[in-house]
Amino acid sequence: MARPEKHVFVCGQSRPDDHPKGSCQARGCKPLIDGFREQFEERELWGKFKFSTSSCLGACEQGPIVLVYPEGVMYQKVQADDVTTIIDEHLIGGTPVEALKISKEIWD
């Protein structure tokens, strides 16, 4: 397997509804997971890039969370409409999406 240029992780953590931190699943990660999978397939991005779901990435209150390596860029409150922007600007274009980046106090 060739090493991908970038690896996208979408938090899929689930917790009980009454958990104080909440979870990315409760905040709507499923459309993101589906969106990345669909676009990777449609745009033939598999191989050049990799996509995975993950367990907790630690910033639950800011979810849904997307993390892109090797840069270590974490995105917060990502919505389904943001998937195309992340792919076009960050993965393909090489420029992180500043408007979605999590605050430096949380992830530096």
User: Where do the H-state alpha helices sit in 4-103?
Assistant: 30-42, 82-85
Q: How many structural domains does the chain have?
A: 1
Helix/strand number for the chain, H first, E second: 2, 4
- The whole-number average pLDDT for the span 8-29 is 91
Contacts for 85 with CB less than 8 Å, ≥ 6 apart: 97, 100
What percent of the chain lies above the pLDDT cut of 90? 81
Cα(107)–Cα(59) distance, integer angstroms: 8
Closest to 10 (Cα-Cα) out of 70, 75, 88: 75
pTM: 0.93
Q: What is the CATH number of the domain that holds 27?
A: 3.40.30.10
For residue range 52-67, list pLDDT tens digits in order: 999 999 898 999 999 9
Question: What mean pLDDT, rounded, does the chain reach?
Answer: 94
Q: Which domain holds residue 16?
A: 6-94
